[in-house]
Amino acid sequence: MHASFVSLGQLIKFAYDATGVLPRKRSEKTGLNDKDIKRIQKQLERLIDEEGSLTDRCGELIQALAFELTGTIQNPKVNYAIGETMVDLLEVYKAVVRDDGTYLSPKDSLRWFCGAYAIPRLQLSIHKHALRFNVAAEGFLTPTEADWYLPTISGTSITWPLEKAINWAYKQCRSSRAQFHSPGKVVDQDDPESHQNLENASNWLSGEAFPSWPGLHWNFSRSIDRLVATEEPYGRSVSEKEKESILYVLFLARLSTYVTKALHDAYGAEVLIDMVGRFKRHRDWLAVDLKVFKAETLTYIERYGALESASDKIWLESSDQYWRWFADRAQHCAMTMQRLLDTFDDHIIPDDLVTQLCDQYGDYTARSALDSMYCASDLKIQECFPEALFKGFDLKKSSSTMDADINAYEAEIKEKGLTTSLEWMVHWNRAALFYKKEQHEEAFVHIQKAFDLAKYSAGKNQYQIVNQYIELSAKNNS
């Protein structure tokens, strides 16, 4: 398999699968009808196949995803925070694909992206947007376990977030599983909906099945309504805020379970443990900075006796100002680190200097940057790759490059096992050579191959390939 990042279409498809907004069964209640579902599925297929405008199709699908979530996550603050976090992750991924090249397979490239970029950005965005939209003021309830939204791994046993959330919902409603889904009665075929809800929930808890979000939402929403409507001693009083909290906790737990299970299935338990550990470290580093910011903002609100509506505006404006400063500080820290790295032969910053950086820029800014720099250490680059890459660039720039030089280069990278990483460079050189000879048809054949192979692997070099692809396409159609 050729070196590349996962395509944008595959990433959007994963977002749909992870949020689970598309029902898996016709009987599942959702705001989408069969025609809508088929249209979205077709759009996803076309995006994966990269038919038409990627930008337009991405925009349409993200908008459709946000619209569907609005039907079940109706609190605007929560909805905005989730949506903005997802957009942040997408923008970071697009920037990495655009600017960074990769010599790894799609699977390994994605693993690197998760450790180096997705986890730090996710941790930052979750807190950033929760503060911007003042979600805490809504008073939602969550499980008391600090890491309820993360898998708990003990030896070969894994307790997934969805299991934690479902059991918390039962406890929050002071009910057993059976009585929660079928209050005041023995579950039998006389009440098929209760029977099905209990059976589904049991399968989800045991891991025999995994719910779509519409299925999960419908099951627990209906079960809570029945529980409240049932008379004592089997009925339970569940406020609207409690119900809303339970549904939002279930959504986040389902989302986290899907993502972490995908990591486990793709890379194994060790990588999952590493990723969860990274997530916790970034959370702890960020907590120090946020503690100060939250205290200052709350003090300001209390000092001026701001009303609730005004408090939301203060949090939004203060947060935007704070995060701009935060980003500027991170950029300055990165420049300082790069200078330090260049001064050491092993490109490792000593611990005493790391401590100084943390004092100057904060734990999160300094340590997350270092963590991202070092996270690729498990994915060793072949020692011959940089030399072969730069040799390809030298051939491209040289006015004396001949067919024999490119043939020799192609044979060299094949011998070194680099064909999957640098075949695009071979075709780019052949396209350039044919272009110099004004053999535009032959040049177009190779620039098209270079374009296809380099699309998700060449980083900034893709700009030059795209420009030459467009030029040669025009020349061959004129």
Residue-wise pLDDT tens digits, 6-53: 999 999 999 999 999 987 665 555 666 778 788 888 888 888 888 766
Same domain, yes or no: 17 and 67: yes
Domain boundaries, position 452: 384-477
Same domain, yes or no: 24 and 120: yes
Residue 336: inside a domain: no
Residue 369: inside a domain: no
| Position 363 pLDDT exceeds 80 | yes
Q: What is d(CA 103, CA 424) in angstroms, rounded to the nearest whole number?
A: 11
| Position 55 pLDDT exceeds 80 | no
Q: Which of 112, 138, 164 is the last residue of a domain?
A: 138
Q: Which of 181-190, 205-214, 333-342, 424-433 has the lowest mean pLDDT?
A: 181-190
Give me the pLDDT at residue 231, please.
87
Q: Which of 90, 105, 138 is the last residue of a domain?
A: 138
Residues in the chain: 478
Query: In the predicted model, what is the mean pLDDT of residues 325-342?
Result: 92
Give me the pLDDT at residue 378, please.
60
Same domain, yes or no: 163 and 103: no
Query: In the predicted model, what is the mean pLDDT of residues 364-384?
Result: 79
pLDDT in tens, 150-166: 999 998 999 999 999 99
Please tell me the total count of domains within the chain: 3
Query: In the predicted model, what is the mean pLDDT of residues 170-176?
Result: 95
Same domain, yes or no: 117 and 170: no
Does the model's pTM come out above 0.85? yes
Residue 455: inside a domain: yes
Q: Which of 222, 248, 267 is the last residue of a domain?
A: 267
Helix residue ranges per DSSP H, 268-383: 269-304, 308-343, 351-361, 363-374
Give me the pLDDT at residue 31, please.
62
Give me the pLDDT at residue 38, please.
86
Query: Cβ-count burial of 90 within 10 angstroms (0-12 exposed, 13-18 middle, 19+ buried)?
Result: middle
Residue 312: inside a domain: no
Q: What is d(CA 423, CA 269) in angstroms, rounded to the nearest whole number?
A: 33
CA within 13 Å, CB half, 6:
17
Structure tokens at 106: 């799609």
Residue 143: inside a domain: no
Query: In the predicted model, what is the mean pLDDT of residues 333-340?
Result: 91
Same domain, yes or no: 60 and 157: no
Same domain, yes or no: 14 and 119: yes
Kindly report the number of other CB atoms within 10 A of residue 361's CB atom: 20
Helices then strands, counting H and E runs in the chain, come out as 20, 2
| Position 182 pLDDT exceeds 70 | yes
Same domain, yes or no: 188 and 157: yes
Place of tokens 């791994």: 153
Same domain, yes or no: 49 and 112: yes
Model confidence at 446, pLDDT cuts 50, 70, 90, reads very high
Q: What is d(CA 38, CA 319) in angstroms, rounded to the nearest whole number?
A: 40
Query: Cβ-count burial of 291 within 10 angstroms (0-12 exposed, 13-18 middle, 19+ buried)?
Result: exposed
Give me the pLDDT at residue 393, please.
94
Give me the pLDDT at residue 372, please.
84
Same domain, yes or no: 27 and 133: yes
By C-alpha distance, which of 19, 98, 99, 4 is closest to 62?
A: 19
Model confidence at 142, pLDDT cuts 50, 70, 90, reads very high
Same domain, yes or no: 132 and 191: no
Q: What is d(CA 395, CA 406) in angstroms, rounded to the nearest whole number?
A: 8
Residue 439: inside a domain: yes
Q: What is d(CA 78, CA 133) in angstroms, rounded to the nearest whole number?
A: 8
Model confidence at 188, pLDDT cuts 50, 70, 90, reads low
Give me the pLDDT at residue 186, please.
58
How would you classify residue 210: left for phi > 0, otherwise alpha for psi between -120 and 50, otherwise beta?
beta
Structure tokens at 164: 């934690």
Residue 316: inside a domain: no
Place of tokens 């947007």: 129
Query: In the predicted model, what is the mean pLDDT of residues 250-254?
Result: 98
Report DSSP letters for 16-79, one per residue: HHHHT-S-SSTTS--S--HHHHHHHHHHHHHHHTT-S-HHHHHHHHHHHHHHHHHTT---HHHH
Residue 97: inside a domain: yes
Query: In the predicted model, what is the mean pLDDT of residues 303-324?
Result: 90
Give me the pLDDT at residue 200, please.
95
Same domain, yes or no: 76 and 200: no
DSSP state of 439: -
Query: In the predicted model, what is the mean pLDDT of residues 384-413?
Result: 94
| Position 85 pLDDT exceeds 80 | yes
Same domain, yes or no: 35 and 98: yes
